[in-house]
Each structure stands twice: as structure tokens, then as C-alpha cells.
Amino acid sequence: MSKYHSITIRDAMNSIASNEYLLPAIQRKFVWDIGQIEVLFDSILRNYPINSFMLWKITDESIKQNFKFYTFIKDYARKFHEDNPDAPTQLLNNDFYAVIDGQQRLTSLYVGLIGTYRTKKPSKWWKDNEDSMPTRRLYLELSGPLSAAIDNEKMYNFRFLTQKELEEDQAANPNHFWFKVGKILEFKTPSAVNAYAIENGLFENEFALATLVDLYNKVYTEETITYYVVDDQDQDKVLDVFLRTNSGGTPLSFSDLLMSIASANWTLFDARDEMRGVREEIYTYGSPSFDVSQDFILKAILVLSDLDIRFKIENFGKTNIAIFESKWADIKKSLVATFRLLEQLGFNDSLLRAKNAAIPIAYYIYKNNLADAVVKTTYDAQDKKNIAKWLAMSLLKGIFGGQSDSILKTTRTVIKESSSDKFPIQEIFDRFKSDPDKNYSFGDETINSFLEEEYGSPVAGLVLHLLYPDTVLAYGRAIAEDHMHPRTQFEDKKKVGLLGLTPDQEVFFRDKKNYNSVLNLQILEESINKSKGDDSLKSWAEAKGKTPADLYVKSSTNLDILAFEQFISDRREILLAKMKSILSI
């Protein structure tokens, strides 16, 4: 029989800590950010409803044995420590409750009261250390409520702080009193709250004392947690309940559900460990690093296994999982080789705007058993160039934007049916010629707009890859976008002033579409770019013996800075013709 129950937050935390509450494999990862957790605690103190929870009472032995369950995560770190630990086998001997609805809120309470939260500082790289991702604990500032001018969402100043932030705030604001929220669990009686307030000089602060007492009551005495128990042991019914109850709030990714089903059916390996492992290995390539999602890995598995590529539950049943497992070693090797190759071809996470565009390359590598060969410097240079050209054109045209299943399916068919042992770039172009939306044709207006893309933009990077394929292939990751006429010449007011320009010339000089776009950019090997520095284009080109063809200018083009307007006009003409030639299919 199903019914509602109410318990205190302390009771819920005890049930989590004792593993009476577990998470079923169909649950997604914890995804709430710091702000959401702070608002949850604020809502509790303000007596706002936090909605009911749903628990599935597990008593059936076959469910215990055939499904995976996880314990709650306590010390959370974005990207690096997101996965819930597997529930030890011995825990499954007894009956327990699986959380069907409320994982995010319960985990938030657990992290806020007992654990820690780590996420990357804005100025740092994603590295699993205290410098990049310092440990934060939840505190409550007791000197007074937040004013609407400071935060119109919260009344109570709950904040996740690092030790350094805590010390800096206390030094800057001596009147602030930061209470570590988890300490409330140490107060066993109301008198302990009063004793703490007296000891810390808070007893005369009406707000501080009332807030501490209220927090104690919310955790210890008030039955804040209301939950509904599902005790039906029919798995299909419970799965339907799960999908229905998780349709709101932070959206449940269908791939999370599929991943969970895959985990339950995967017998030779731990699916989550394997997926995480390949994602982490892929992340070692590119600068910035290639960051692929779980969705990407699952989609790639379907494509490379020559199966139906749609995200449907039936496609992750035991029959298909057995196929995945038998192919997994080669699939994983091909995926890693793909991103290693893309790094060699000068691509990175910023340029790879549609990750699914990498899947056909992985399929080509997989079908032709090229995982070891394709990443070697001795591998066919023209095949590498064709792969890079196809990828750049696909990304520029947005071929893989939106729903890409049909594109992946068609491209897979072309590669599979190709009689060539090389990447079938022309065959792919030909197959999509008649598609009004996903063809590889580029108009003059579009190409012109590419040439005005600014330094550092993904489009500019892709265009430069197409213009300098030999440089990219030769130096791979160690390439850099270079301003041919140095940018300082246009942004340094003193330098501009010394040129004695007319007003019209100065307007042209200061237009970023001219000096900061593809029209004034080239790709150089990184060390060459650094040594070039702010040298004038004319002196650098003469010293390096650069020809007009090397620079994509006319033989008559004057490289002096005073002839910049003519330089841009000439280069636009040459680049437009070159891009038309490159993009011709």
C-alpha cells in the first residue's frame, strides 16, 4: 500500500548516512549548482514548501540483484567527482528505499549539512586541485537578513565559502558572523543552541538567536520532509512513475536514463566507469580540451555498432548491450584516436562546435581499423587533409546543428558503402547535394562574411584551417592565429597618430572588420608567431622570404602599413577566390 509519511531533515540525513536511502541506477547525476542549494536552505527557513519526495521501497530480491543502486554523494566536485559510489553488495541484503523523486533536493541537504562543494574558479583551468577548485562549505551569516537591494531572491545569507573567502570577509566585515550550517547537527537540544549563542556573543542579537533556533527546529523537530512511498515491485510500473515524476524541475536527460539501463545490463564492464574513462582520456587532447558528453559517447556507440542510432530504450536492451560489449574495446580505441587526430589537425573544443560531427570520423577509423595508423606522422597526409576539410566545412555550414540523427545515419551509410579505402569526402558531398538545408554549398555572401570574422572566433579559426592546411597538418596543436599587420599598430593611439593618416584612413584603420578579421590573419607555427611579435609585415615577410602566394596577396600588393587599405582590398579579392575554390564541391 502506498502512503505519505513525514520526517525531519535530521531523520532524512541519518537515513542517507546509514544507506537506508539509496539511488536507483536510473537516476541522473547530481546537477544542482551552489545557488540552487543556497536557495533551498533559504526556502526552508522561510517556511516555503519544498515539495514532496517519492521513495520506492525495495523488497524484491530479483530487483536488488538485477538493478544497480548507488549511495549519495557527499563531497561533490564538478566534472571530477560527480558520480555516486556503487552501493556495496551487503547493503542490498536488507530492504531499503530507492529515491525516485527528490534526489537533487536530498543531495543538496546532505552536501550543505554534512559535505562540501567544489567547482572551478572563473580564472582557472579545470584541474582537480584546491587551486582550481577550492573546497566550499555552506555558511549562514547571522548579523542580519539580506536586503532586497543585495539579493531579491534570498532573505537569509546562505553562502558556500572557501576558508580563504571566509577569512577575507571576516577581516573586511568584522560585524559578520558566519555560522557553518553543518554545526547545527552538533546541537542535540535547544539549550545547546542558547549556550552557543551566549558563548559567541549572539544572544543579544534578536535576528541571530531567532535564526539559529529556527534552523535547529527545521532540522531537528519540524517534519519538513514529506514523502510518498511506492511499494509496488513491478519494475515497469515504477519506471513509468519515475519518468512522469522527473519531467519537471531540472530536466532529466533521456541519455541519463539510457545510461542507467545500459549500466544495469552491461555485464563484462562497469558501463559508467568505462564511459567516464573514455571521456577523461578524450579530455587530454585539444587546447582547450575536448569535452564530450555522455550523450555523445552513447550516440557514438550506436553509430559505430551499425545499429539503430535513435535514443530509444529498446536500443539499449540486453541484446544490443551484448553487441556493445563485444565491440567496446575497438569503439573506445577509435573514439580516442579520433580526438587525438583532431588535435593533430589543429582542432580544439572551441572549434568543434557540434561534437556529433566527430562521430563519422570515428566510424571511418573504426570500419577501416585505423586507430593505430591514423595518428602516426607517416599516415596518408592527403587523407588527413580531406578529413580536416570535411569537418571544417561541416562545422561552417552547421550540418550537424539541431537533430543530427538523419545526418549521422546518411553519412555512416556513405562511409560504409564506399569502395575507397580513404575518407569519402566527395561521396559525402554528393549524397547531400539535393538536401535543401544540409548541403555543402556556400554562397558568395556567406564566404564574404567568413572573411570578416574576428580573431579568436570559431568561424575564423575554421576558415584559417581551410586556408592553411599544410601549416595545420605540419604543426597540429602548436599553431597560432597571427595578425599579419600587428594589432598594436591599430589599437595603440600613439602608433596610429605617428602615421599621419587622413580622417577617412583612420576610420578604416580602426575598424575591427579590417585589422582584426580573417582579412588580416594567417596561421603560423606557435614559436614563429611569438618571434614575429610586433614586427611590421613588410620587414617580417622580407626577412622570411614570403611570397605573395604565401600571404594570399597580389604580386603588386604593397605591404607597407600606410597601404593597409589597399592590402585589405587585395587580400579580400584573393581570399574570396581561394575560398570559392576550396569550398567548391
> Has residue 175 got a pLDDT over 80?
yes
> Has residue 221 got a pLDDT over 80?
yes
Of 241-250, 274-283, 521-530, 532-541, the poorest mean pLDDT is in 241-250
Q: How many domains does the chain have?
A: 3
- Residues above pLDDT 90, as percent of the chain: 61
Q: What is the mean pLDDT of residues 82-110?
A: 86
Tens of pLDDT, residues 408-417? 999 999 999 9
Q: Which of 391, 408, 441 is at the close of a domain?
A: 441
Q: Which of 230, 262, 280 is at the close of a domain?
A: 230
- For residue 238, being part of any structural domain is answered with no
- 240 compared with 434, residue with greater pLDDT: 434
> Has residue 329 got a pLDDT over 90?
yes
- For residue 540, being part of any structural domain is answered with yes
251 pLDDT band (50/70/90 cuts)?
very low
Same domain, yes or no: 261 and 157: no
- For residue 527, being part of any structural domain is answered with yes
Contact 209, 203 (CB under 8 A): yes
Same domain, yes or no: 332 and 394: yes
Q: What DSSP designation does 560 have?
A: S
Helix (H) or strand (E) segment spanning residue 22: strand 21-24
1 pLDDT band (50/70/90 cuts)?
very low
- Summary count for the chain: helices (H), strands (E): 27, 13
- 151 compared with 460, residue with greater pLDDT: 460
Grid cell at residue 570: 587585395
Q: What DSSP designation does 340 have?
A: H
Map residue 445 onto helix, strand or coil: helix
Q: What is the sign of the dihedral through the CA atoms of 186, 192, 195 and 201?
A: positive
Tens of pLDDT, residues 561-579? 999 999 999 999 999 999 9
Same domain, yes or no: 275 and 410: yes
Closest CA to 514 of 502, 506, 524: 506
Same domain, yes or no: 301 and 434: yes
> Has residue 454 got a pLDDT over 80?
yes
Same domain, yes or no: 434 and 450: no
- For residue 241, being part of any structural domain is answered with no
Same domain, yes or no: 213 and 331: no
Q: Which domain holds residue 84?
A: 3-230
- For residue 242, being part of any structural domain is answered with no
51 pLDDT band (50/70/90 cuts)?
confident
> Has residue 236 got a pLDDT over 60?
no
- For residue 240, being part of any structural domain is answered with no
Same domain, yes or no: 53 and 198: yes
Contacts of range 408-415, beta carbons closer than 8 Å, 24 or more positions apart: 408/299, 408/303, 408/309, 408/356, 408/359, 408/360, 409/309, 411/360, 411/363, 412/303, 412/306, 412/309, 412/360, 412/363, 415/360, 415/363, 415/364, 415/367
Predicted confidence at residue 150, as pLDDT, reads 58
How far apart, in whole angstroms, are the C-alpha atoms of residue 147 and residue 500? 56
Q: Which residues contact 326 (CB under 8 A, 6 or more apart)?
A: none
Of 142-146, 340-344, 529-533, the poorest mean pLDDT is in 142-146
Same domain, yes or no: 437 and 451: no
How far apart, in whole angstroms, are the C-alpha atoms of residue 37 and residue 119? 14
Predicted confidence at residue 518, as pLDDT, reads 97
- For residue 236, being part of any structural domain is answered with no
472 burial type by CB count under 10 A (0-12 exposed, 13-18 middle, 19+ buried): buried
Q: What DSSP designation does 124 have?
A: S
Q: Which of 180, 215, 230 is at the close of a domain?
A: 230
Same domain, yes or no: 437 and 455: no
Mean pLDDT, all residues of the chain: 89
Task: Centre a 10 Å sphere on the Cβ of residue 93 and count the other Cβ atoms it contains.
Answer: 10
> Has residue 118 got a pLDDT over 90?
yes
- For residue 54, being part of any structural domain is answered with yes
> Has residue 437 got a pLDDT over 70?
yes
Contact 381, 428 (CB under 8 A): no
pTM of the prediction?
Answer: 0.64
Same domain, yes or no: 155 and 43: yes
> Has residue 491 got a pLDDT over 80?
yes
Same domain, yes or no: 462 and 547: yes
Q: What is the mean pLDDT of residues 32-44?
A: 93
Same domain, yes or no: 455 and 425: no
